[in-house]
Structure 1
Amino acid sequence: MSRQNLLSQLQQRPCRMPNACFQRNTISRRLTLVRADSKAVDAVVIVGDIGGTNARLSAWRTDLGSTAATQIFAKVYPTSEYSTFDTVVDAFLSEPTVRQSQPQAAALAIAGAVNDNRCNMTNVNWIVDGDGLQAKHGFRVALLNDFEAVGYGIPALEPEDLVTLNKASVVPKAPKVVMGPGTGLGAAQLMWDSGIRAYKVWPGEGSHATFAPRGWKQKALSRYVTDMCGHCEIEQVACGSGLELIYEFLQTDEAANRPDLLAHSKLKKKKAAEISAAALAGSDPIAVEAVDMMYAIVGAEAGAMALRCLAQGGVYIAGGITPKLLPRVQAGALLEGFLMRKGRAPFHKILSETPLFVITNEQVGQIGAREFAKRLLATE
């Protein structure tokens, strides 16, 4: 029996019990949310970006058959003004514009570890419970690690959202890798799932593995961080605070090597934004070297991730820092780190044939959460 005939019979059959009415409404809603006869169906979904300082929520009218979407409403909620995340959701759902367009699913990207659709946030005293929100409000809710959401956004990006660093053919359905420096160093892998005919994202914590330095200066950096912290992991030298640490380290060079920069000067500490601005302007040679060193490290780790899963679908560098530093990134340090020219020839060849991109669309995480919310509807 076709879905259309089933729905017609259910609608015509008299309802004698409240539970039967509820069941029929559920079946009817499910049938209208999935694609039938290849015709796309509209749905309203909620997208969340939940951090320690702000919770950003937005409602979108989406097309289940494409990546098309229109934002209906968006609002930023300071975490300090709300005792729980549930009260933030209540406030958002009470907005007149949102009430007029009943949401049918929500995907919330959270800067924290998600276990069993639940997250105990570390930078704010909130527990975000996806199953609890789902039971309370009657629509599907999924929690995602923030970089997991970035991964789900990659297949929905447009060509103009990418800058190519290593031009090579993207192999359809091949593994993809996404990583990038921001507050930390996020990373995830995308693997094709033939059952759902789409990519599934597998987040990880590989950036906390021990840093593997290349060359004498990176080895000196590793010793500097190890002496300071007892251990040097990749993230410590490949994110915003890592850039600050590299800048500090570079000032410990022998003054005789850089008399114009280091002689008779005290150690200067700069914020990542100041270092980035100075590197782009070319006004501070140490800032330029610090940025290049960080991206050489990011590139090396991106190459290692690409080899681990043979990411012929492409390696994508995301994060809030990289788009802002694109002119410096395009100078070549990231690509050189990625290509591993001094490594074994067969593996350098694999990397030279692996596409490498920078994602310039800083909304990729929001796009990914929106796409994942649509998947919730398709699997009801």
Structure 2
Amino acid sequence: MKNFKEISLPDLSHTTLSMAYPSGQKTLPESGIVLAADVGGTKTELALFQIKKKKLVAIKSERYATTDHNSFVKAIQHFHEDKTSVIDCACLGVAGPVDGDKVRGVNFAWEIDAKKLEADLEIKKVLLINDLQANAYGLSALKASDFETISKGEKSEGNAVVISPGTGLGEAGMYWDGAYYHPYATEGGHSNFAPGNELDLELWKFLHHKFNHVSWERVISGQGINNIYDFLRNYRGEKEPGWLTEQLKGDSPSKVISSAAIEKKDSVCVETMQLFLKYLAVESSQLALKAKATSAIYIGGGIPPKILSLIDKKEFYKNFINVGRMEHLLKTIPIKVVLNDKTALMGAAYYAAMGILK
């Protein structure tokens, strides 16, 4: 299989974070086959897991560009064309607001209908959750080596949050009931971007003219990197180097910009990433305050692990705690970057396995 990496997930009683599931069960079932999916704006990852001896073991995995198929049904049919295993339950973590048994992606054109998938693909049960909710569930399977710590904070029980810049900006909460976390989805990435100084205000004006509504996703995402770069190139009045113009014609301008910043090849690219990280720190603190996330804030998504060398931890922390009277609270919150790009897939696998029990 393309991109296959063996994944073995422990029983829930041996995970690092205790999660609550709708079934109310605390351990994995004795047996079963589950399909897990991480459906994003850029890529879709599918994996088939078998429950063996209270562990989830991946037996098949594949990654596609989301645009490779014109529907999710086609993607699964291609992935599971041999139908050698009967799927007991599937969980799809999807980048979009889930409405009961349906979801339409924000950054891709598919509409996914769980009941239709059950019928078309002969799957016993299909569950839909937001991709950030899947990310939150997947945190329970991670090891210490799967994190890069920005600030240790203080060990404290309480709520946690996840913020994940990638194709878009995902945000989720994790309510702590005293024994278990209850992950829940939000669409906080689409809330209003708030300028904090004159430069931010000029950026807001630039983006307001272009998009009308300026959300945090417009500045903290792959497209956000492009937006900040376009603004700064215009605002600073610096001519774009020819080599950069050519590279930006490719499929991933944000990757070109971040790479140029890492290599310090262009001052506007460097400033672009500095602003991106500043806004990530600011919105992380806003999310932490709104959820009173005293346990931790987890920074996931496809971008942060790739730009670790650009993260000035002291500068990030300074921007994170710059909230006036609540600075003392934010100083206690651990800030961790999630390095494992399988987190959402693992969370969907757990959710599907626990769905067998309902």
| 2:59 equivalent in structure 1 | 72
> Where do residues 1-380 of structure 1 align in structure 2 (5 Å cutoff)?
41-51=30-40, 55-62=44-51, 65=54, 68-76=55-63, 84-95=71-82, 99=84, 101-121=85-105, 126-134=110-118, 137=122, 139-172=124-157, 174-193=158-177, 198-253=180-235, 262=238, 270=248, 271-340=253-322, 343-345=323-325, 347-378=326-357, 380=358
| 2:14 equivalent in structure 1 | none
The 8 Å contact of residues 233 and 239 in structure 2, kept in 1 or not, is answered as no
Q: TM-score, length-normalised on structure 2?
A: 0.81
Distance 2:286 2:99 in 1: 27
Instruction: State the shift of 1:320 in Å.
Output: 0.5
The 8 Å contact of residues 29 and 354 in structure 2, kept in 1 or not, is answered as no
Counterparts in 2 of 1:113 and 1:64: CA distance versus 1, 3 Å = farther
Instruction: State the shift of 1:111 in Å.
Output: 2.6
Distance 2:169 2:215 in 1: 11
Distance 1:34 1:212 in 2: 40
Segment of structure 1 superposing worse, 38-47 or 151-160: 38-47
Tell me the SS of whatever aligns to 1:183.
coil
Long gaps (5+) in structure 2: 1-22
Instruction: State the shift of 1:139 in Å.
Output: 2.3
Distance 1:339 1:193 in 2: 26
Long gaps (5+) in structure 1: 1-32, 256-261
The 8 Å contact of residues 166 and 356 in structure 1, kept in 2 or not, is answered as yes
Distance 2:24 2:193 in 1: 46
Instruction: State the shift of 1:53 in Å.
Output: 6.6
Counterparts in 2 of 1:294 and 1:55: CA distance versus 1, 3 Å = closer
Distance 2:319 2:203 in 1: 16
The 8 Å contact of residues 44 and 104 in structure 1, kept in 2 or not, is answered as yes
- Residues 96-150 of structure 1 show CA distances to partners (whole Å, capped at 9, x for unaligned) of xx62x43322111223332112124566664422233345635222012222211
Instruction: State the shift of 1:93 in Å.
Output: 4.0
The 8 Å contact of residues 299 and 334 in structure 1, kept in 2 or not, is answered as yes
The 8 Å contact of residues 87 and 123 in structure 2, kept in 1 or not, is answered as no
| 2:20 equivalent in structure 1 | none
Structure number with larger C-alpha Rg: 1
Distance 2:214 2:108 in 1: 27
Distance 1:316 1:277 in 2: 24
- Residues 180-201 of structure 1 show CA distances to partners (whole Å, capped at 9, x for unaligned) of 211111111011356xx53222
Instruction: State the shift of 1:314 in Å.
Output: 0.4
Distance 1:156 1:122 in 2: 27
Distance 2:111 2:214 in 1: 31
Instruction: State the shift of 1:205 in Å.
Output: 1.3
Which structure is higher in helix share?
A: 1
Letter of the 1:46 partner, please give it: L
The 8 Å contact of residues 162 and 300 in structure 2, kept in 1 or not, is answered as yes
Distance 1:89 1:140 in 2: 14
Letter of the 2:146 partner, please give it: D
Distance 2:108 2:170 in 1: 20
Counterparts in 2 of 1:134 and 1:170: CA distance versus 1, 3 Å = farther
Structure number with higher relative contact order (C-alpha < 8 Å, ≥ 6 residues apart): 2
Tell me the SS of whatever aligns to 1:252.
helix
The 8 Å contact of residues 279 and 291 in structure 1, kept in 2 or not, is answered as yes
The 8 Å contact of residues 321 and 331 in structure 2, kept in 1 or not, is answered as yes
Distance 2:51 2:41 in 1: 28
